Amino acid sequence: MALIELSGIRKHYPAGEQDVEVLHGIDLSIEAGEFMAIMGSSGSGKSTLMHLIGCLDQPSGGEYRFAGRLVTEMDHEQLAWLRREMFGFVFQSYHLVGTASAWENVALPAIYAACPARSASSVPSGCSASWAWASAWSTCPTSSPAVSSSGFPSPGR
């Protein structure tokens, strides 16, 4: 069973009196531990697809299953759990909290996940997978805004 499975995914946005369809029947299957790249020209729907895969938006049509579960049937709390526990996001635009320090911005995902404070001083082998992932990404150079990635953990976390 695929970790991520999209079948006939469509996404459209209102544009005045018409709708503009950005994604047209996307079929995609990603196995646990598999790496992939989404590439295309500006305006081709890459960000829209990533927002759908990361449960930041809902498709206009089609089916999206994560680990066999239909994402469109998940409630707000289940989607929040999925985003917090199963997905890691590094956006091209940083989306930092302007009133927080750099350290607080890096620690924010761990705070939301209720990680104990002692995890921050742990060596990587003593950290949860999500905390280790966040720590690894916090070492990315801040001068590389073109880096855009999303990581999906392998099963057995």
Residue 153 maps to a domain: no
- Domain of 53, CATH number, reads 3.40.50.300
Tell whether 124 and 56 lie within a shared domain: no
Long-range contacts formed by 9-14: CB under 8 A, 24+ apart: 9/49, 9/52, 9/59, 9/61, 9/62, 9/63, 9/64, 10/59, 10/60, 10/61, 10/62, 11/45, 11/48, 11/52, 11/57, 11/59, 11/60, 12/60
152 inside domain:
no
42 vs 128 pLDDT, higher one: 42
How far is it, in rounded angstroms, from Cα 88 to Cα 119? 18
Residues 108, 79 share a domain: no
Determine the residue type at 108.
L
- Per-residue pLDDT at 121: 58
Q: What pLDDT score was predicted for residue 123?
A: 53
Residue 63, pLDDT score: 98
CA distance 130 to 157: 9
pLDDT at 103: 80
Percent of the chain with pLDDT over 90: 42
pLDDT band at 11 (very low <50, low <70, confident <90, very high): very high
Average pLDDT over residues 119-143: 54
Q: What is the pLDDT of residue 62?
A: 98
Residue 22 lies in a domain: yes
Same domain for 19 and 70?
yes
Residue 143 makes CB contacts below 8 A (sequence gap 6+) with none
Same domain, 76 and 34: yes
Query: How many domains does the chain fold into?
Result: 2
Domain membership of residue 124 as a residue range: 94-144
In a domain, 82, yes or no: yes
pLDDT at 152: 39
> Bigger pLDDT: 146 or 11?
11
What is the structure's pLDDT at 127? 57
Residue 155 lies in a domain: no
Q: Quick one: pLDDT band at residue 49, thresholds 50, 70, 90?
A: very high
Q: How far is the C-alpha of 119 from the C-alpha of 107, rounded, in Å?
A: 11
Average confidence score pLDDT of the chain: 78
Residue 78 pLDDT greater than 70, yes or no: yes
